Structure 1
Amino acid sequence: MPDIAIVPANFIALLLDTFLFGIVLLLFVSDIYFLATRKTLAGKNRPRKHHFTSLVFICVTFLVLLITTHWALSVYQGYFAFIHLGSGASARAFYGDVSQPSQIAKTILLLFSVLVGDALVIFRLWVVWRNRPVLVFPICTVVGTTVAGIGIIYEFANAESLHVRGTAPIRGWTAIGFGTSLINNIYCTGLIAYRISTAKASPESRLMAFCDILVESAALQSFWFIFASATTLASSNSEFFATEAFPAIIGIANLLIHARVGLGWSSDTAEKHKVVTV
């Protein structure tokens, strides 16, 4: 099956990123409203301002800022390629040049988004399990992801070829980075899912348990990681869909959890199963 051309791939990726960015903004504003007007089980004895000064909310806000900046750079690239360059051979060369400053900046933003997302997943694991030894392995994977991300940025910054994406060094660092982060997400998702599924053992609660697992464990983030890993390592232009939308997907996965907290849906889980969501 022929691969999609690089210019149409980036155009579709820009549309997808814009759509998902709109969802991120909607969820973020909703989270602020919910946290300002309702109190969760975990914070029922705390002032409302505690929700907005908590480490988790600060991390989520930082993540939204990363997503916003990443989207703004994507819009700039789209304007430069389609309006200034005319979407021809020059646009293909522009999108293929990974050493350009805007692409380096987007790669750095993607790395930080992944690291913040991984950190929030690990924190959810801690909230659910309250067991320090369980955190050792995922913390090690975050270190591996950081090293791999730095390696990718270095290779991009020193690239001399427009086809550097498919070279062995890039594929190697990409495999390490995606591999360690994916393992972290699968590890944390699996343990969180196990905790929730064992807590909800009655037949009538199976559907609710399934929904809890999908949201609480940020399974969307893990699924997208698999998609991004496959397209990137296959050197397909479809990787633009995955990587461009990745920060927004990470944001949506985490903001959905906070929306549940703001709505009070996680209180039922905490009361019945002694599991308090972030």
Structure 2
Amino acid sequence: MLQNRTDLSANSDGYALHIATFYSSRLNKKLLEAALSAFLFGVLNLLTGAAMYCLIRRGMHNLAPKLLIGCALLLYLSTAMYWASIMQSIAGDNAFLDLATKTLVSDSVLPSSMSRTVALQKNNLVINIALIINNIIGDAIVWWRVWIIWRQSPVRYVGPILISATLALAIAANLPGSSTTLRGGYYVVNVWDLLAAASSFAMNAIAVSLIGYRTW
């Protein structure tokens, strides 16, 4: 009985040490990301307020400013959701790290990391949803300019096709059962994510080229 208790304690201490080492090693990086995210979110607050003020001051007589205000609000809300998820992820990591540290100096047994893994996966999903919303709205705003200046050309339909492809690939990347890899503690990266990023990049590159060609 004493031997079994000693083995359990040794295994628990080894597991706790592994958890403490793993989470503490990435703590500085996550805190830096949190600080940068908080700063950029503050900048976003100012820019969103300024954009709303300018759009409302110019008047709401046609559809364009109403659409821009709606897009700005959606971008703001999705970014707020992204920032809140990052803060929640850091808080969860800190709590788990604190629990592992306390386990090293007591006889308690550290719970399985499965609950933390599940929580991390949920955070990743929320973060990915926020990024998808931001990306799709941003791409749509970029292509809106192409849609206006290439009004009589069929080339303007390339954008909606690529944006739809980006959305479909991004959704596929987050479906249950997709082969995923955790990167940096936040993001889920797989082949669908890479294809979605490539589609978005292609759309933006084409948009910049078409706008530049027409305004040259």
**How high is the TM-score relative to the length of structure 1?**
0.54
The partner residue of 2:44 within 24, 28, 44 is: 24
Q: 1:49 aligns with which of 55, 60, 75?
A: 60
Q: Distance in 2 between matches of 1:99 and 1:79?
A: 11
Aligned residue for 2:205? 186
CA–CA distance in 2 between the matches of 1:151 and 1:112? 15
Structure 2 counterparts to residues 172-251 of structure 1, below 5 A: 172-196=191-215, 198=216
Bigger relative contact order (CA 8 A; separation at least 6): 1
For the 8 Å contact 1:81–1:94, the answer to whether it is kept is: no
In the aligned structure 1, how far is the partner of 2:26 from the partner of 2:83?
A: 18
Preserved contact between residue 71 and residue 137 of structure 2 (Cα < 8 Å): yes
Give the deviation of 1:137 after TM superposition. Answer: 1.6
Q: In structure 1, what residue type is equivalent to 2:41? A: F
Identity %: 22
CA 1:182–1:194 in structure 2 vs 1: closer, same or farther (change >3 Å)?
A: same
How far apart are residue 35 of structure 1 and its match? 2.5
User: Does structure 1 conserve the Cα–Cα contact (< 8 Å) formed by 2:150 and 2:156?
Assistant: no
Q: Which amino acid aligns with 1:60?
A: A
Query: Which among 59, 63, 77 is matched to residue 71 of structure 2?
Result: 59
CA distance in 2, matches of 1:95, 1:192: 47
Q: Secondary structure at the match of 1:100?
A: helix
CA distance in 2, matches of 1:159, 1:179: 18
String of CA shifts for 1:90-145, please: whole Å, max 9, x gaps. 9x999876862122111111112111111111112112332351222222211221
User: Quick one: distance in 2 between partners of 1:170 and 1:74?
Assistant: 17
Size of the aligned set, in residue pairs, is 176
Inter-CA distance 186–85: structure 2 relative to 1 (3 Å threshold) = same
In structure 2, C-alpha distance between the alignment counterparts of 1:184 and 1:96, rounded to whole Å: 35
Q: Partner residue of 2:81?
A: 69
Match of 1:146 among 150, 157, 167: 167
Pair 1:98–1:150, CA change in 2 (3 A): farther
Query: Which of 130, 133, 148 matches 2:154?
Result: 133
**Aligned mates of 1:107, 1:186 — CA distance in 2:** 23
Task: Single out whichever of 176-185 and 115-124 deviates more from structure 2.
Answer: 115-124
Decide whether the 8 Å contact of 1:7 with 1:95 is kept in 2.
Answer: no
Q: Tell me the amino acid that sits aligned with residue 164 of structure 1.
A: T
CA distance in 2, matches of 1:128, 1:96: 48
Deviations 1:156-192 (A, max 9, x none): x4479xx8247xx953212211100000011111212
Runs (5+) with no aligned partner, structure 1:
40-47, 199-278
Counterpart residue type for residue 54 of structure 2: F
Q: Look up the match of 2:129.
A: 108
Distance 1:131 1:60, change over 3 A: farther
- 1:183-225: per-residue Cα shift (whole Å, max 9, x none)? 00111112122333x1xxxxxxxxxxxxxxxxxxxxxxxxxxx
Greater C-alpha radius of gyration: 2
2:22 aligns with none
Q: Which amino acid aligns with 2:80?
A: T
Q: In structure 1, give the amino acid aligned to 2:193.
A: T
One-letter amino acid of the counterpart of residue 72, structure 2: V
Give the letter for the 1:25 counterpart. N
